[in-house]
Chain A
């Protein structure tokens, strides 16, 4: 017998005796648990508001509290200008990105040498880039999170290796809450998921020394979300 069969055998033997449901005694008649629906989850999770503008304001509030930099812009042109301004202010020499529609436009405007992670690349070179510019799958109002995947945002390392992560997004990508974000992933990728899906909520942080917040523990010290 393989260890798999041994373990599954022990599990089945153990489960022959039923356990009481949470909050019930052993001898209470036991209904089968119903896993919560998205509507059930929304009834208990933090409120997000009905209107789109309300949710956008919530995303801004959450992102700001998390020390992410959220900038809402008129159009793609304004976004390109904003990115150039940040680049000049921070003195970027070299950027990394991937070949998405928005990132292509942003990088063209930037006028810097750009390492693209769509083809095979050297991880040491990526580590030397000043910024990683990526698209995303969704912005989550409830938590101020940016959802990226290995397919939509240039692989696994782009959003976490360079010291500054810039996300370019359209405002239609805002979803109200976590149930909506997970449902979106399911309908977009169901059956053929990317190998990595990450909910990024603010720049990398640690509190491991005397519980004092320090940004940029391993991942980016800065997270900027440019949205139009």
Chain B
């Protein structure tokens, strides 16, 4: 078996039995569910709104070439420089090139999952730059030298005491474990970094083709500062994030906030169209936009799974997923975790190495039901399973089906086997759940209900 699958199994087993971890996640999620539902019911027609944004995303993704070209043309007309990167390596090299040209030393970043995806921080740090994450959750996990736990709440797995400890250790400043005081420590430290930073790097939630603007949603104001203070600004964005029109935001902004955090809209929803314009006195002198492919065109080429590019990264499918809530975000070992991560990672990073994620699902469909852009997530998990076994069928599955097929197609054989099964189960009770049990892999954590006393056929024949 491959390493990511083994790692997943080990971590999943450990964390699903870790009651402390489970309690932290349940507490963090409890209030979310209440406020999310309040926001949904505030809409006059939530299902109608979902259909509208799903169709808007369909239009954007299915005419991606047209919308991307329009976006690039418009933002360049306003003085920004657009860069195109086919791979993560190319994107890192492009950004390092900009840092070198600007003689940068300190780089301040606001939250960008795309930068996690291409390991941009490692690339910049290796090249000798000081890189500071400014989103509080990202800042905390950066201090702890671990990846974000959740795409919206990076530090949701940590208690205030753990955060106090890392502040004490890395910043030498942690007056108490009070969340407000800890936040103010981060504010002070990061304020100074903002004033020193030469370059600011952001992600973005949407790229507006019609006006050539990037839309960034946040609550803290850290992206606002990243886009206001350094002399050079870089936005890294996946090519699928384009929306046709400015007015499309009227639905996307409140729906992203409702599903992401249970807010009416997030605190700051900001559009950036180019560097400082004539007559403006602050903001960056240079604005670079890096458009990242990194296997997105491979997903686009699969018409069946193309709609996974509609994802707006709200995190709602993670929050409702019974698997995510038990095994946690780090267990996935991927940039994008939860149902959407399980769907797209095998397509972005290798089907056979990551196909185990498609099985990390009960197929309950809660993800598809909650998704604001109506991605049929649990169906895509099934398609991944089919694609993976079609490409590289496993030997034990081949044997299992070779044995199963004649049984299932010959009624006489089927009835013989089920009779034997009933007989065999009589003795099973003696070893059930022990190491001697041939079905140990199943019975060590699960029950095996008794086979019915008689078959349906027997019952049918015997009925009065």
Please give the distance in Å from A59's CB to the nearest CB on chain B: 12
- Are B51 and A7 touching (Cβ within 8 A)? no
Please give the distance in Å from B51's CB to the nearest CB on chain A: 7
- Are B58 and A45 touching (Cβ within 8 A)? no
- Are A198 and B55 touching (Cβ within 8 A)? no
- Are A195 and B269 touching (Cβ within 8 A)? no
Q: Given A44-B46, A219-B225, decide whether A195 and B58 contact each other with a Cβ distance below 8 A.
A: no
User: Which A136-180 residues have a C-beta within 8 angstroms of B?
Assistant: 142-145, 150-151, 155-157, 159-161, 177-179
Q: How many residues of B contact A (CB 8 A)?
A: 111
* Total A-B pairs, Cβ < 8 A: 305
- Are A217 and B219 touching (Cβ within 8 A)? yes
Return the CB mask of A96-126 against B: 1 if under 8 Å, else 0.
0000000000000000000001111101100
Is A57 among interface residues, defined by CB-CB distance under 8 A? no
Chain B residue at smallest Cβ distance from A213:
B179
Chain B residue at smallest Cβ distance from A183:
B247
- Are B283 and A156 touching (Cβ within 8 A)? yes
Is B443 among interface residues, defined by CB-CB distance under 8 A? no
User: Which residues of B lie under 8 Å from residue A194 when comparing CB positions?
Assistant: 273, 277, 280
Q: How far is the CA of A200 from the CA of B32 in the complex (A)?
A: 22
User: Which residues of A lie under 8 Å from residue B154 when comparing CB positions?
Assistant: 208
- Are A22 and B54 touching (Cβ within 8 A)? yes
Return the CB mask of B234-277 against A: 1 if under 8 Å, else 0.
00000100001111111101100000010111111111111111
Q: How many residues of A contact B (CB 8 A)?
A: 86
Q: How far is the CA of A123 from the CA of B184 in the complex (A)?
A: 20
Query: Could you say which of B27, B184, B224, B301 has the most chain A C-beta atoms within 10 Å of its C-beta?
Result: B224
Q: How far is the CA of A62 from the CA of B227 in the complex (A)?
A: 27
Q: How far is the CA of A17 from the CA of B90 in the complex (A)?
A: 28
Q: Given A120-B281, A123-B229, A218-B134, decide whether A205 and B244 contact each other with a Cβ distance below 8 A.
A: no
- Are B59 and A33 touching (Cβ within 8 A)? yes
Is B99 among interface residues, defined by CB-CB distance under 8 A? no
Chain B residue at smallest Cβ distance from A16:
B301
Is B414 among interface residues, defined by CB-CB distance under 8 A? no
User: Which residues of A lie under 8 Å from residue B22 when comparing CB positions?
Assistant: none
User: Which residues of A lie under 8 Å from residue B195 when comparing CB positions?
Assistant: 123-124, 127
- Are B28 and A161 touching (Cβ within 8 A)? no
Return the CB mask of A1-42 against B: 1 if under 8 Å, else 0.
011101110111111011111110010000001111010110
Please give the distance in Å from A27's CB to the nearest CB on chain B: 12
- Are B55 and A218 touching (Cβ within 8 A)? no
User: Which A185-215 residues have a C-beta within 8 angstroms of B?
Assistant: 185-186, 193-212, 214
- Are B55 and A210 touching (Cβ within 8 A)? no
User: Which residues of A lie under 8 Å from residue B224 when comparing CB positions?
Assistant: 156, 159-160, 198, 218-219
- Are A15 and B300 touching (Cβ within 8 A)? yes
Q: How far is the CA of A12 from the CA of B63 in the complex (A)?
A: 9
- Are A196 and B272 touching (Cβ within 8 A)? yes
Please give the distance in Å from B367's CB to the nearest CB on chain A: 15
> Which of A's residues lie within 8 Å of B, judged by CB?
2-4, 6-8, 10-15, 17-23, 26, 33-36, 38, 40-41, 43-47, 62, 117-121, 123-124, 127, 142-145, 150-151, 155-157, 159-161, 177-179, 182-183, 185-186, 193-212, 214, 216-220
Q: Which 7 A-B pairs have the closest CB atoms?
A: A219-B221, A22-B54, A217-B220, A14-B301, A208-B137, A156-B228, A10-B297
Given A41-B247, A155-B228, A156-B224, 12 additional A-B pairs, CB 8 A = A3-B90, A10-B300, A21-B55, A22-B54, A143-B265, A161-B225, A195-B276, A198-B269, A210-B27, A211-B27, A212-B179, A218-B225
